[in-house]
Amino acid sequence: MLVKMGGAERVLDVLQGMYPDAPIFTLLYDEERCGKIFPKEKVIVSPLQKWSDFKVPRQFLVTKMPVAIESFDFSRFDLVLSSSSAFAHGILTPVHTKHICYCHSPMRYAWDYTNEYIRERGGGFFGPMKRWLMRRILHDLRTWDIASSDRPDIIIANSRTTQERIWKYWKKESEILYPPVDVNRFEVGKTHEDYFLIVSALTTYKKIEIAIQAFNRLKKHRLVIIGEGEDRNRLENMVESDTIEFLGKKSDADVAEFYKNCRALIFPGREDFGIVPVEAMASGKPVIAYGEGGVAESVLSGKTGIFFSEISPESLEDALLQYFQFDEKKKFSPEVCRKRAEEFSREKFEAGMRGLVEKISSGRKW
C-alpha cells in the first residue's frame, strides 16, 4: 500500500529508480502523501481503491486484501519484484514470470504481534465480540499467508532478524539484502545542541512511551520527538517535563538537520531492520537502542551506539548513564559512525539487487 512514506516506501523508491519504466502495482494509493515520489500515472491500483476513495477505514478492508492482491495480471512481464510487509508476496504470476519478493517482514499483526494487536484494538463495550471476530480474521490471514509464501521464486529478507521470522512462520529459505539508505543525504555533525532525538511514527508498536517515562525522570535532558501517528495524544498526555518536545512531521531536509545537531538517537522499539538508526549514524551520531532486532545488525555496541536489554524506562536510563560515561571519554567518533552507515548505502543495495535479478533471470540455481 502506498498510503504513507516510511522505510518500505523508500526501498520502493530506490527500486523504481533502478527500473524507471516499470509500472507500480499497489493495493491502495494516497496521491496526496505519496504522489511526489510515486506519480499517479505510474501507479496501478487494486479494486479496493474505490472504497479507500470513499474514506472507508483500511482496517475494514483487510479481509478483502488477499483477493485484491491476487487480482493483478502480470502475464505480460518476465520478472516481477514485490516489496512486501503483508500482502504483496501473494501476487499470482504465470509460469514464465519470475517473482522476486523483497520481504520487510511477514505480517506482524497476524503472527508475533497478534495478542498485543487484539488487546490494543479489542476494547470498549463490544470488546468480547470484537476480540472474537479479530481472532477469526487473523486465523484466516495466517492460513492465506502460509499458502501464499510458496509463490515467490526467491525471497529476500531485509535483515537476519527478518530471515529468522520468515523461517519460523513460513519455513522458507531466504537471501539477506539490507535496505538502502541514502547516506549522501546526511552531513556529519561533529558538535551537538544538547538534545536527544526520536524520529518515528507515533504508534504503540514503536514503544515511544518508555523514552518519555525515562526523560520525565531525567528532567534536565531534552528529548525532541519528530513524527506523527495515532498514538500522539496518548504520548503527549504522558509528558511531565518541559524538556520533552513534540515537533510533528518534518521535511527530509529538516530531519537531516535534527540528526546532525542531536547528541544521540533514541530507538526504543524492536524493528526488523530500522533505517532511522543508520540515518543517525550517517550523520555521525551514536544510537541508544533496545538491543534486539535489526538494530543489533546495524549498530556496533560500544562503537556506534549503546544497547539496553529490556523495553523499560529503567533499562533505557541505565543506557543513557552509560552514554554519558562514553561521551566524556570521547568514545563515539562521528567518522566511525559514518563509516558504519556506509555499509548500508544505496549503491550496495542496488549492486546486490541487480546481482540477484541477473541470477534468477539467467536461470542459474540458488
Encode pLDDT of 314-349 as tens digits: 999 999 999 999 988 888 999 999 999 999 999 999
Structure confidence at residue 3 (pLDDT): 94
Among 178, 201, 182, 179, smallest CA distance to 249 is for 201
Q: Which of 74, 60, 62 is CA-nearest to residue 27?
A: 62
**Phi and psi (nearest 5°) for 362?**
-80, -10
Confidence at residue 364, expressed as pLDDT on a 0 to 100 scale: 61
Position 300 scores a pLDDT of 98
pLDDT beyond 80 at 363: no
At 163-214, the pLDDT tens digits run: 999 999 999 999 999 999 999 999 999 999 999 999 999 999 899 999 999 9
∠ Cα 297 274 40 (to 5°): 140
Residue 252 has pLDDT above 60, yes or no: yes
Closest of 180, 228, 177, 225 to residue 201, by C-alpha: 228
Rounded distance between C-alpha atoms, residue 310 and residue 335, angstroms: 29
What does the pLDDT read at residue 58?
A: 87
pLDDT tens-place string over residues 107-126: 999 998 899 889 888 888 88
pLDDT-based confidence at residue 9 (cuts at 50, 70, 90): very high
- Give the per-residue pLDDT at 123: 87
- Average of per-residue pLDDT values in the chain: 95
What are the grid coordinates assigned to 135, written together?
481472532
DSSP state, residue 292: S
- pLDDT mean over 155-164: 97
SS3 of residue 260 by DSSP: helix
Percent of the chain with pLDDT strictly greater than 70:
99
pLDDT at 254: 98
pLDDT of residue 117: 87
pLDDT at 365: 55
User: What is the pLDDT at residue 301?
Assistant: 96
* DSSP codes, 38-106: S-GGGEEE-TTHHHHHTT--GGGTGGGHHHHHTT---TT-SEEEEEESSSGGG----TT-EEEEEES-S
Residue type at position 281: M
Rounded to two decimals, what is the model's pTM?
Answer: 0.91
One DSSP character per residue, 20-38 reads TTS-EEES-B-HHHHTTTS
* Alpha carbon separation from 318 to 199, 307, 349 (Å, rounded): 21, 10, 35
Burial (CB count <10 Å: 0-12, 13-18, 19+), residue 317: middle
Residue 94 has pLDDT above 80, yes or no: yes
349 and 178 Cβ atoms separated by less than 8 Å: yes
What is the enclosing helix (H) or strand (E) of 232? helix 232-238
Res 38 pLDDT > 80? yes
The mean pLDDT of 24-34, rounded to a whole number, is: 96
